[in-house]
Structure 1
Amino acid sequence: MSSDETHTSSKSLNQEELHQDGEKAGVAQADEKNDAETDPDITSWSFPTPEAIREELSKEFTDEQKEKVWTECTEAVKTSYNQLLGRWKEEMDTLLVYAGVSSAVLTAFNVESYHLLQPDPADPTLAVLKQISAQLNGYTFTPPFLNATNSTGPVASPQVQFQAPASAVWLNSLWFSSLVFSFAAALLALFVKQWIYEGMVPGTSPESARLRQYRFNGLLKWRVGTVVVVLPILLQLASILFLAGLLVLLWTLHNIVAAIASVLVGLVFTFVIGFTLLPVFKSDCSYRSPASSAIYAVLRFTRNEVLRVIRGLCKAIYLWSMHWDSEALLHVYRAQFERLGLFAYNAYGSMPTWRGRDQNEIYRYHGNLTRAIVTTAYSTTADKRFLASMPVILSDLPSEQVPQCFRDILDFMEAEWGHWHLPDRLLLEDGITLPLCATYGIRHMLARSDRGAEWWLNDTKIIFRHYFIGKESTERLAELACKTLCHYAVQDRASRLASGLAYKTVKLLYDKQGNRHTYDTLAHAKVFYEVEMAAWDPSEGFPRYRDTTQVVYVLLHIIRATISGQSQLTASQTDAMLAWGQQEIARLCEWLRGLEWIGLHKGCLVMSGNAAESFAFPHIASHYLIKMIITPLIMLCSMPGGLALVSGELVAAIEHTWSAARLAYPDAVDVNIGFVWASGLDKIDARLVELRAVCQLPPQ
C-alpha cells in the first residue's frame, strides 16, 4: 500500500477499524473453542441455525462502534438537510424582493391602463359634437320657412354605447395576469418560508435524527423542491406577460378581462387552499404552515369533542338499557346495546396533537427511518466511510430493512452511474468495502427464519448483486465470505451464480491471496461440497459438470489447507478433516470412473440454449479436468504429506475419464483453431504425464 493510500485510509472509518475488535474477539474465541475441542465430529457438523447467526451478529460490534457510526450518519444527514433548507430560504428571500419590485412596477402601469377601457368625459371633441347635436334638434322646418322659435326644447339624442378596442382588452388582460402571477409567486414564497421554518429540527439525538429524517422524507415525497423551482418560473412568466402587454392597448373593466382574471385568481386560491389543507390530513406533507396548524387544532378540538359527546350519549343509552324491565325486548336488542357499550367504554384514541401525530408516525415507521438515515448519509455525500460502517448498524435494523438498505444503495449507484454499472474505482481501488457490506447483508438474511421462501430469495439476490471479489482482502472478509457464500449457495440451490462465487471465494481469497482458514470456514466449505456433489445429474448437461468439478476443486482445496499447517486447526481437528478428505477422495474415484460423457452430451441437446456446448465437448472436458482436478492434485502432491493422500487409483481414474471422453468424440481437432489453445485440449496429455510423475508412478 502506498503512502497516499495509507493517508487516505487513516482519515476515515474503514473496515479495518470497524472490525479490529471483532477480529481480536473472534480469534480469542476460536482459540478457546479449539482448546476445548478434543474430538470433533466432522460428519455431524451442520450450518448454524438462524438463532445462532443472530447471536453471532449481535456480538459482532461494540456499543461504542455503533454509537460512533450513528453519530457520523446523523451529522451527515443534518448537514445536508440544513444546507438544503438554507439554500431554499435564500432563494425565497431573493424571490420575495424581486416579486415586490415587480408588483410595484406592474401596479403603476395597470393604474393607467385600465382607463383605456372606459370613455373619457373630458374629451373636447365629444363635447363639441354634443353641442352641435343639441342645436340641430332646436330647429323646425315648415316649407318654405326654417323656424327655430317654435321649438319646444332640445330633444335627447340616443346615447351610443362605448366599446373598448380589442387592443385595450388584450393589454389589460396581459398586465393584470402578470400582476396575478407576481402576487402568487410572492404569496407562495411566503408559504415556502413557513414550511422551511416548520421543517427545521435541531439536535443530534436519535429522536431528533429520526424526526429530521421524517421531515426530509416528507420534503422529497411532497415535492417541495418542485414548488421552489416553480416560483421563479411564475415570476419569469409575469415578466413575459408584462412585455407582451406593451404591444397591445387596453385592459380590464371588460367581461373577458374579468373572466380571465377571475380564473387566474381562482386557480391561485385553489393552490393556496390545497397547500394549507394537505398537511392537515397528511402528517408527512411538507407544506406545513401556521394556517395548517391552526386548522388542524380546530379540527382536532371539534373531532374530539364530537366523539366525546357521542360516546357519552352511547354510555347513557347503554346504562338505561340495563334497567329495562322488558326481558323480551332486551333479548332482541342485546347485541346492539353491547356494541354501544363497547364503543362507549373502550379507550378509543383521541386525535393527537400537531406534534404528537408526527411522533406516532415516526414510531410506526421506526425501522424505515433508521435505515434511511444510514443510506441517506451515503447517497447525499457518496462518502465511502458510511458504506464501510454499514455492517455495524445492520444488527440494529429490523430484518426486513436489511435488503432495503442495499436497494437504496443500488438505486443511488444506478442514478449515478447507470443500470448494471459500477464505477471502476469500486471494483479496482477498493475490493473490500462493498463486498464486506454485501457479506454481512447476506449473513443477516441467513439469520431470518423464513429463509428459502420466494420473497427471501428475491431480497437476498438484491444484496448478492453487490458482492464481488477484489484484488485485495482481509482475513475477516475472507472468513465471513467463505462461511456466508457456502451457506447461501446451499440455501439457494437454483442460483448457479451463487455456487460459482462460493467456489471463486475459496479459490481467490485463500489460494491466491493467502488468507488462513479456520475450522469453521473449512466446515462450511465441506458441507457446500457435499451438497453439490450429491446433486450430480448428467442429464443437466455441461453446466452441472462444471459445477461438480468446481466443488471437486473445493474438496482438494480443503485437504491442501488442512495439511499445510497454516490453517487455525487443532491436532484433533486436522485428523478429523483429513480422515473425511481421504473418504471423499475414494468417492471421487468412483465418480470419475462412472462419468458418462454421452449422457452429458444428451443433456446439452435437450436443454434449450446449450446445443452449442455439445460441439465444444472436448474443449469443455479438458478445460475443467485440468483446471479443477489435475492442477490442484499436482499442487497437493507437491506439498509435504500430500503425496500419501493421492493414490495411483485416483490417477488411473482420471486417465480413464479422459480416455472415455476421447472415445466419445474421436474426431481429430484442428490445432490451428484458436479456441484449442484456451481450452487445455493442447496440454491435457502433458499435464496427465506430469501428474503421474509427481505421484511417482511409472509412465503409462
Structure 2
Amino acid sequence: MASHTGKPPATHRNDILHRRNDEDAVPNQGADSDEAAAAWGRCAEVLHDNDKSRLQGWKEEIDMLLVFAGLFSAVLTAFNVQSYQLLQPDPTDITIALLMQISVQLNSFTVNPSFINSTYPGHPALQSTFVAPPYAVRINILWFASLICSLASASISILVKQWLNQYSYGLIGASHSRETARLRQYRYDSLVKWQVLGILRLLPLLLQVSLALFLLGLVDLLWNIHHAVAIVATVLIAVLLLFSTFTIILPSFSRDCFYKSPQALGFFLLVQQVLRMWRASCRVMSSVLESSWVALSLTDHINLYFYQVAISRWLYEASIRPTYYSWREQERESVRNEPSVLDWHILSACDALKMDDDFLENTIEPCFRTVAVEVVVPCYDDILRHRVDDLGDLRQTWTHNRSVKSVNAALSLTLCTLEKLNTGDQKYHEDQLCILRRLDTLWGSIGDYEVEYPATARLLDGLAEMFLSQFDRRCHEVCNIFPQITRNDLPLNSFIHALLAHVGEWSTFLDLCLAGLQVATSENLPSRDDEEVHNQIRQILSSLREYLETTESKDRAAYWFVRDMKRICRQILLVAQTFPGLVAAPGELATVLRRATEARVAELTDEHWELLREIYGIDRRMLWDDLVALAAMKDSSAQLEASGAFNSADWVFEFLLGSTWTDFEAAG
C-alpha cells in the first residue's frame, strides 16, 4: 500500500499505457484501411511540403540576420574602443596640468638673500578632480547598449536555428505516414506553445533597436564635435528613421501595403487591439443611447432626439467593423473583395510569362471565360498587347510570325471576349464596338490566310448571331468585317434574318444587304449551283427592291440616295456575273433602281454633284454608266421573257431605247 501511495504519478501513467495497449489490441480499432492510410499519407505530404518551405524561409532569414549582426557588431566595436576612453582621465592631460603647475610655481618664486620662497600653492590631489563629460556618458550608454542588442540578436539567432534543426530532425525525407504526421504535429504544437515564432520575430526587432541606438549616439557625438557635420548627419539619419517608421506604421492602415515585417506585425497587432477596445466602447455607448431613445422621444426635444439617433447609429456601425488577429485574415478578406481584378492580373501575368499560343488557347481561354465581365476588356487588351506594339495600330505593329496557331488563338480569344461582354448590360456596348473595330484591323493585319484558321467559323457564327440583328453601330462594324473574309462557310442565312429585323433603317439595312451579297459572291463559296444559296440571294435582292419602293426610301435625301446607289449598282452587277441563272432578280431590282435614280437626280443641285465628286468620286457620267451596265447584262432579255416577269415590254431595250445620256444629263 505504501508503494502505491509513494509513486502515484508513475502508477497513473502505467494505467494509461496499459489501457492504451488494451485499446490497440481490439480488432479493427487501431489499424487503418488502405484508403484511410493513403489519405493520411496525403495529409502528411501536405504538412511536409509546408514545413519544408517554411523552414527554408526561416533559416534564410536567420542567416541574413547573422551576417548583418556580425558586420554591425564589428563596426560598433571600433566605435566603442574609442568612446569608452572618454570616461577615463587622459594621462596626457594630467602631465600637462602638472607642468603648468610647475611653471606657475616657478614664476611665483621670490628670491631674497637669505631664502627662496614661492607664493603659489601646490595641488597634490589634482587627479581626483576628473569628471567625465555628460555627452561621453550618453554616447557610451547608447553604443554599448547597441552592441549588446546586436550580440544578443546573433546569439539568439544561433539558438533558434538549432531549435529549428531539431524540429526538422527525422521529418524531412521521412516517409509520409500517419505516425510521421503525428510527430510533426506534436513538435509544431510545442513550437507554438513555447513561442519560438515570437522569438524569431524578435530577432530583426533587436537589430533595428541596435541600429537606432547607434545612430542616436553618433548624432550626439557629432553635435559635441562639429555642428556643420552634425547637421548633415542628423538630416540623413532622420530620413532613414522616418522611412523605417513609416514602413512599420503603413501596413496597419493600408491593406495592400507590402512593407510587412516582424516589427510592422507587432504594431499591427497593437493597433488591432486598440480598435477592439474602441469598438467595445462604441457598443456600450450605442446601447446606452438606445435605451434613452424612448424617454427622450416622449419629450419635446425632437431635434436632440434625432441627433442622438444619428450618433447611436454611427457608434453601432463603428462597433461592427471587423478586427484581425493576423495579416492572413486581412489578406483573405481583401482577396474576397476584389477577385475579378486579381483574376485579370493572374491571366495577364501567366500569358506574359509563357507567351505560348497553345497555352493561351488551352489554358488561359478557359479561365478567361470565368472572369467577371467588368475586367474582360482590360485583360483582353493586356494579352493582345503582349503580341503587338500598339493596340491603336494593329496593322503596323503585329509582331508575331502570323502562324496559324497564333492567329487562331487571338481570334478565339476575341470571340470569347465578345461573348462575355454580350452577357453584360448596355454599358459594355461601347467596349464591344471598340473590339469589333480592332478585329476589322486584325483581318487586314493577318492577310488572306483566314481559310486556315479553325476559329474563324466559330467567330463568324458568333458575330452574326450576336450583332447582325442589333440596332446600333455594332451591326455596321460586323457588316464591314464580313466582306473581307474569304471562307467557304460564311453564315449567309444570318444576313437574311438581320435584314428582316432592320427594315426601316436604311443605313443598317443597306449595309446588311451589300455585305450579304458580298458574302454570296465570295470566291470560296462551296457551290454556286446550290438552290438554298440561290433562294437566299433572291430574298436579299427582293428585300432590297421592296424597300426601294416604300415611302421611307422615297423620303430619303437625294444626296445620300445617289451616294448609296453606286454601291448598289456595282454589287448587283457582280451578283449577275456570278449567278447568271439569277438575272431575273437583279433585273427587276435594276428597273426599280433606274426609276428611283431618275427621280432623285432631278433633285440634286450643282453643289451636290460637286460634293459627291470630291468626297465619293461620283459624277453624272459614272452613275449613268452603272445604270447602262445593269441594262446591258448578257442574256437578261431572254431570261426575263421566258420567266414572264414582264408581259409585253423588254426592260433592257425599253431602258436603252427610251433613255439616252443626253436625256439623263438634262434630267440632272
**Normalising TM by the smaller chain, what interval?**
0.5 to 0.7
- Tell me by how many angstroms 1:341 deviates: 7.2
Matched residue type, 1:373: I
Does the CA contact (< 8 Å) of 2:587 and 2:636 recur in 1? no
Matched residue type, 1:441: T
Say whether residues 1:396 and 2:370 are aligned partners.
yes
3-state DSSP of counterpart to 1:149: strand
- Tell me by how many angstroms 1:119 deviates: 12
3-state DSSP of counterpart to 1:432: helix
Q: Return the alpha-carbon distance in structure 2 between the equivalents of residues 326 and 584 of structure 1.
A: 75
Q: Deviations over 1:159-206 (max 9, x none)?
A: xxxxxxxxxxxxxxxxx9xx99xx9xx99xx9xxxxxxxxxxxxxxxx
Q: Return the alpha-carbon distance in structure 2 between the equivalents of residues 146 and 255 of structure 1.
A: 55
Task: Identify the residue that residue 442 of structure 1 maps to in structure 2.
Answer: 418
Task: Identify the residue that residue 585 of structure 1 maps to in structure 2.
Answer: 545
Does the CA contact (< 8 Å) of 2:275 and 2:323 recur in 1? yes
Task: Identify the residue that residue 364 of structure 1 maps to in structure 2.
Answer: 337
Say whether residues 1:131 and 2:79 are aligned partners.
no
Matched residue type, 1:428: R
Task: Identify the residue that residue 599 of structure 1 maps to in structure 2.
Answer: 559
Does the CA contact (< 8 Å) of 1:589 and 1:650 recur in 2? no
Matched residue type, 1:643: V
Task: Identify the residue that residue 238 of structure 2 maps to in structure 1.
Answer: 266
Say whether residues 1:472 and 2:450 are aligned partners.
yes
Task: Identify the residue that residue 553 of structure 1 maps to in structure 2.
Answer: 514
5 Å matches for 1:331-346? 335=306
3-state DSSP of counterpart to 2:407: coil
Task: Identify the residue that residue 303 of structure 1 maps to in structure 2.
Answer: 275
Which of 254, 257, 263 is the matching residue for 2:225? 254
- Tell me by how many angstroms 1:433 deviates: 2.4
Task: Identify the residue that residue 632 of structure 2 maps to in structure 1.
Answer: 692
Q: Return the alpha-carbon distance in structure 1 between the equivalents of residues 312 and 234 of structure 2.
A: 53
Does the CA contact (< 8 Å) of 2:351 and 2:360 recur in 1? yes
Q: Return the alpha-carbon distance in structure 1 between the equivalents of residues 550 and 336 of structure 2.
A: 61
Q: Deviations over 1:260-305 (max 9, x none)?
A: 4444333323222211221212222222233333333333233223
Matched residue type, 2:417: G
Say whether residues 1:376 and 2:353 are aligned partners.
no
Task: Identify the residue that residue 579 of structure 2 maps to in structure 1.
Answer: 636
Q: Deviations over 1:29-74 (max 9, x none)?
A: xxxxxxxxxxxxxxxxxxxxxxxxxxxxxxxxxxxxxxxxxxxxxx
Q: Which structure would you say has the larger Rg?
A: 2
Task: Identify the residue that residue 279 of structure 1 maps to in structure 2.
Answer: 251
3-state DSSP of counterpart to 2:258: coil
Q: Return the alpha-carbon distance in structure 1 between the equivalents of residues 507 and 117 of structure 2.
A: 134
- Tell me by how many angstroms 1:404 deviates: 3.2
Matched residue type, 1:276: I
Matched residue type, 1:553: L
Task: Identify the residue that residue 645 of structure 1 maps to in structure 2.
Answer: 585
Does the CA contact (< 8 Å) of 1:483 and 1:525 recur in 2? no
Q: Deviations over 1:638-673 (max 9, x none)?
A: xxx42342226617946996999999999xxxxxxx
Say whether residues 1:348 and 2:320 are aligned partners.
yes
- Tell me by how many angstroms 1:136 deviates: 4.9
Q: Return the alpha-carbon distance in structure 1 between the equivalents of residues 365 and 505 of structure 2.
A: 30
Normalised to the residue count of structure 1, the TM-score between the two structures is 0.51
Matched residue type, 2:483: K
Q: Return the alpha-carbon distance in structure 2 between the equivalents of residues 407 and 505 of structure 1.
A: 20
3-state DSSP of counterpart to 2:323: coil
Q: Return the alpha-carbon distance in structure 2 between the equivalents of residues 91 and 515 of structure 1.
A: 62
Say whether residues 1:153 and 2:93 are aligned partners.
no
3-state DSSP of counterpart to 1:428: coil
Does the CA contact (< 8 Å) of 2:373 and 2:421 recur in 1? yes
- Tell me by how many angstroms 1:460 deviates: 3.0
Aligned pair in 2 of structure 1 residues 345, 578: CA closer, same or farther (>3 Å)?
same
3-state DSSP of counterpart to 2:106: coil
Matched residue type, 2:265: S
Does the CA contact (< 8 Å) of 1:525 and 1:554 recur in 2? no
Between Structure 1 and Structure 2, how many residues are aligned? 474
Q: Deviations over 1:392-414 (max 9, x none)?
A: 34553333232232344366567
Q: Return the alpha-carbon distance in structure 2 between the equivalents of residues 130 and 664 of structure 1.
A: 123
3-state DSSP of counterpart to 2:255: coil
Aligned-pair identity (%)? 12
Aligned pair in 2 of structure 1 residues 433, 626: CA closer, same or farther (>3 Å)?
farther
Task: Identify the residue that residue 383 of structure 2 maps to in structure 1.
Answer: 409
- Tell me by how many angstroms 1:685 deviates: 5.7
Aligned pair in 2 of structure 1 residues 288, 119: CA closer, same or farther (>3 Å)?
closer
Which of 460, 467, 483 is the matching residue for 1:507? 483
Does the CA contact (< 8 Å) of 2:286 and 2:316 recur in 1? no
- Tell me by how many angstroms 1:587 deviates: 4.0
Task: Identify the residue that residue 424 of structure 1 maps to in structure 2.
Answer: 398
Pairwise CA RMSD of aligned residues? 6.1
Matched residue type, 1:281: F
Aligned pair in 2 of structure 1 residues 129, 367: CA closer, same or farther (>3 Å)?
closer
Q: Deviations over 1:131-172 (max 9, x none)?
A: 26633543358899998524333699xxxxxxxxxxxxxxxx
Aligned pair in 2 of structure 1 residues 148, 475: CA closer, same or farther (>3 Å)?
same
Q: Unpaired runs of 5+ in structure 2? A: 1-53, 125-142, 158-220, 608-615, 638-651, 657-668
Aligned pair in 2 of structure 1 residues 264, 689: CA closer, same or farther (>3 Å)?
closer
- Tell me by how many angstroms 1:361 deviates: 2.0
Matched residue type, 1:286: F
Higher deviation after alignment, 261-270 or 649-658:
649-658
Task: Identify the residue that residue 212 of structure 2 maps to in structure 1.
Answer: none
Aligned pair in 2 of structure 1 residues 273, 696: CA closer, same or farther (>3 Å)?
same
- Tell me by how many angstroms 1:597 deviates: 10
Aligned pair in 2 of structure 1 residues 412, 651: CA closer, same or farther (>3 Å)?
same
Higher deviation after alignment, 404-413 or 432-441:
404-413
Q: Return the alpha-carbon distance in structure 2 between the equivalents of residues 325 and 487 of structure 1.
A: 62
Normalised to the residue count of structure 2, the TM-score between the two structures is 0.53
5 Å matches for 1:116-127? 121-122=90-91, 127=95
Q: Deviations over 1:365-402 (max 9, x none)?
A: 12222333223322333333454355534553333232
Matched residue type, 2:337: R
- The structure whose RCO (Cα within 8 Å, separation 6+) is larger is 1
Q: Return the alpha-carbon distance in structure 1 between the equivalents of residues 122 and 248 of structure 2.
A: 63
Q: Return the alpha-carbon distance in structure 1 between the equivalents of residues 108 and 115 of structure 2.
A: 5
3-state DSSP of counterpart to 1:513: coil
Q: Unpaired runs of 5+ in structure 1? A: 1-84, 157-175, 191-249, 537-547, 604-616, 667-675
3-state DSSP of counterpart to 1:502: helix
Aligned pair in 2 of structure 1 residues 649, 532: CA closer, same or farther (>3 Å)?
closer
Does the CA contact (< 8 Å) of 2:111 and 2:117 recur in 1? no
Matched residue type, 2:542: Q
Aligned pair in 2 of structure 1 residues 441, 326: CA closer, same or farther (>3 Å)?
closer
- Tell me by how many angstroms 1:94 deviates: 9.8
Does the CA contact (< 8 Å) of 1:399 and 1:444 recur in 2? yes
